[in-house]
């Protein structure tokens, strides 16, 4: 059967099912296939916090959305063009996001009376007018998969589990995806169980062949590769990119890397990834709790390593005393906070930007640290290197604020040339620095960086006091002198405020915009897509994005005051907006949401259009 091939410039697909249906794996494999083809991609995994929510219920729905295009894209897409729904719960949980006319591929085998009742359907939506506004493709995914595996040496239960591979095969056929890498992946994943390798490959091929032969799908689609800068790319998640950035920082500094971590969603993947890189001088330790983890990391820094600890919001609260100790000791320390929705345990698998105040101020006493936030999954690599540069150069703790959206999302990453990465080599103190040539002054500062010497314990002649009690300037002796304390507090603050960081860049193509949209962290994509949409409609608007949140760029005040209105969208209740108002006396407009989900470009575009009308 010859089928029509239709060219598209972009597609958004959402795979949705029970948390045991393998939707994250399915979406990840489709994304890998798409990356291999050369499309630009952006993804949004969304899964329940429960390890195993009740099967077939709304709280148990897991989804994976992938947006791919033949041009540069900034977000995972506001709404899917295609929904693959593995059961009634997946359909009901996601139907409100689908625009009318979108395609729904639904697993009819799961639409039993029992499963329908679990989610409150009084009647089967496949048999009434509930789905009249969409293009529905009923497919008996489960039974067709079991039938395709009838000759395989697997149980019926294992055969049913392979239905996600049937769905992946069908979607790979529909959108002309290369699939060889998926077959190799299955061979590796189930290498110890050859029967599962054969079964999953057979299910994948059955889905592909079903698309090729059925009358239900008369059109096949193609999305051509995107035009991108020449180079070698790989698909990467934010957590993986951040991990590789930390490895690169160790290589470029020549220091051993030590990670002290306690598992916590959504930061645990960094521990898992770094544990694979021992050959690069990386040591990982899973501590008994968050306090032990940061204590070990600070101890590693004291011993001459690049000390790192990873966590999410609740863990940062537990680590705060030790971070304050690192401020007093003036030692480099990286604290990675992959933010999630709070407070307390909150919503561990959902995203939020609500830890900014804690990063800036969440320690006792005057304990300033540098704060950096990556804007996208690929940017996590460079943000990690920048955080290490500041920590090592200025002898300070640095908080790296990622979030769940960035950490688990993925996009193409251009592999950099190693020689293009900054030189992070450190000179340790090796001899006395006092005027007498015999004494060592641990708080005698570099006049350029204001950093104190970093002396590895045990170096002859460099004995000095260590601990959290206030230190005397230069000598490091314990001091209760009021004037000295005032001096040291101001000096530590000045050390952070005078760190040179790149000036903020403004994207204002027409040069006549009256409204500036200011963002930080993962709002970069939705803000950029919204501004792009407004400009395509002939409206002028400017955009700026902050990577460095402490210290802030020196030109930020001038930039803010050059626009009539400044709008700050955040996934919190206005934390950056409060900082901007207090520091620069600019009456910024805060636009906030805390739904556990990223902004959509459409909602920001609508909001910004209203602001433009009232300027």
Nearest to 506 by CA among 554, 560, 551: 560
Q: What is the pTM of this model?
A: 0.95
Tokens (6 digits) for 290: 């968050």
Alpha-carbon separation of residue 331 from 250, 453, 493 (angstroms): 16, 9, 14
Blockwise average pLDDT, block size 10, the chain, 615 residues: 88 96 96 95 92 87 97 97 98 96 97 96 95 96 97 95 97 95 95 96 97 91 94 96 98 98 97 98 98 98 98 98 98 98 96 98 97 98 98 98 98 95 97 94 96 96 94 96 98 97 96 97 98 97 98 98 98 98 97 97 98 95
Using CB atoms within 10 A of its CB, is residue 20 exposed (0-12), middle (13-18) or buried (19+)? middle
* CATH 3.40.920.10 is right for the domain spanning 4-223: yes
Give the per-residue pLDDT at 50.
80
Residue 2: count other Cβ atoms within 10 Å of its Cβ.
Answer: 4
Give the per-residue pLDDT at 218.
86
The string of pLDDT tens digits covering residues 480-539 is: 999 999 999 999 999 999 999 999 999 999 999 999 999 999 999 999 999 999 999 999
CB of 269 closer than 8 Å to CB of 239? yes
Nearest to 62 by CA among 98, 94, 33, 102: 94
Alpha-carbon separation of residue 176 from 44, 332, 357 (angstroms): 21, 49, 46
The structural domains of the chain, with segments of one domain joined by +, span: 4-223, 234-420, 506-614
Same fold, 4-223 and 506-614: no
Helix and strand numbers (H, E) in the chain are: 20, 22
Residue 285: count other Cβ atoms within 10 Å of its Cβ.
Answer: 17
Topology at the third CATH level for domain 234-420: Rossmann fold (3.40.50)
Give the per-residue pLDDT at 1.
59
* CATH 3.40.50.920 is right for the domain spanning 506-614: yes
Which alpha helices (DSSP H) does 80-153 contain, by range? Answer: 88-94, 113-118, 141-148
């Amino acid at each position: 059967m010859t089928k029509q091939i239709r060219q598209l410039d972009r597609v958004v697909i959402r795979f949705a099912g029970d948390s045991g249906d393998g939707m994250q794996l399915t979406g990840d494999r489709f994304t890998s296939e798409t990356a291999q083809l050369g499309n630009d991609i952006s993804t949004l995994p969304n899964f329940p916090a429960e390890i195993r929510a009740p099967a077939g219920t709304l709280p148990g729905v897991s989804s994976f959305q992938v947006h791919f295009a033949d041009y540069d894209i900034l977000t995972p897409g506001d709404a899917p063009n295609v929904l693959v729904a593995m059961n009634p719960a997946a359909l009901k949980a996601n139907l409100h996001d689908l625009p009318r006319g979108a395609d729904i591929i639904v697993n009819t085998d799961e639409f039993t009376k029992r499963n329908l009742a679990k989610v409150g359907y009084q009647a089967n939506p496949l048999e009434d007018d509930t789905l009249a506004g969409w293009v529905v493709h009923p497919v008996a995914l489960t039974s067709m998969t079991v039938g395709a595996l009838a000759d395989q040496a697997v149980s019926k239960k294992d055969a049913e589990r392979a239905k996600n591979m049937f769905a992946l095969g069908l979607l790979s056929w529909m959108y002309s995806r290369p699939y060889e890498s998926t077959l190799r992946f299955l061979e590796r994943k189930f290498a110890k169980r050859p029967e599962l390798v054969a079964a999953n490959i057979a299910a994948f091929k059955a889905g592909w062949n079903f698309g090729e032969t059925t009358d239900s799908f008369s059109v096949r689609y193609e999305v051509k590769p995107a035009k991108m800068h020449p180079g070698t790319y790989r698909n990467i998640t934010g957590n993986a990119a951040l991990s590789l950035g930390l490895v690169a920082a160790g290589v470029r500094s020549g220091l051993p890397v030590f990670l002290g971590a306690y598992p916590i969603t959504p930061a645990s993947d960094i521990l898992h990834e770094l544990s694979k890189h021992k050959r690069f001088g990386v040591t990982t330790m899973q501590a008994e709790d968050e306090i032990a983890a940061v204590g070990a990391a600070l101890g590693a820094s004291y011993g001459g390593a690049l000390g790192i600890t990873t966590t999410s919001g609740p863990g940062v609260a537990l680590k705060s005393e030790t971070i304050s100790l690192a401020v007093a000791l003036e030692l480099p320390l990286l604290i990675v906070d992959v933010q999630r929705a709070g407070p307390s345990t909150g919503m561990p698998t959902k995203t939020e930007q609500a830890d900014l105040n804690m990063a800036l101020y969440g320690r006792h006493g005057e304990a300033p640290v540098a704060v950096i936030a990556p804007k996208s999954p690929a940017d996590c690599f460079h943000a990690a290197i920048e955080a290490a540069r500041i920590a090592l150069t200025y002898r300070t703790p640095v908080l790296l604020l990622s979030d769940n959206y960035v950490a688990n999302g993925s996009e193409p990453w251009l592999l950099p040339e190693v020689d293009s990465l900054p030189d992070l080599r450190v000179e340790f103190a090796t001899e006395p620095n006092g005027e007498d040539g015999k004494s060592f002054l641990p708080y005698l500062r570099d006049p350029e960086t204001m950093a104190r010497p970093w002396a590895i314990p045990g170096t002859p002649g460099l004995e000095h006091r260590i601990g959290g009690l206030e230190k005397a300037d230069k000598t490091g002796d314990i001091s209760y002198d009021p004037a000295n304390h005032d001096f040291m507090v101001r000096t530590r603050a000045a050390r952070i405020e005078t760190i040179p960081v790149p000036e903020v860049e403004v994207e204002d193509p027409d040069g006549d915009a009256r409204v500036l949209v200011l963002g930080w962290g993962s709002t970069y994509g939705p803000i950029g897509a919204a501004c792009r949409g407004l400009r395509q409609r002939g409206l002028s608007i400017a955009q700026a994005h902050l990577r460095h949140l402490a210290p802030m760029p020196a030109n930020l005040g001038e930039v803010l005051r050059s626009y009539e209105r400044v709008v700050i969208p955040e996934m919190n209740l206005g934390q950056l907006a409060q900082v901007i108002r207090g520091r620069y006396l600019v009456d910024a407009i805060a636009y906030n949401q805390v739904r556990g989900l990223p902004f959509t470009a459409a909602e920001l575009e609508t909001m910004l259009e209203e602001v433009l009308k009232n300027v």
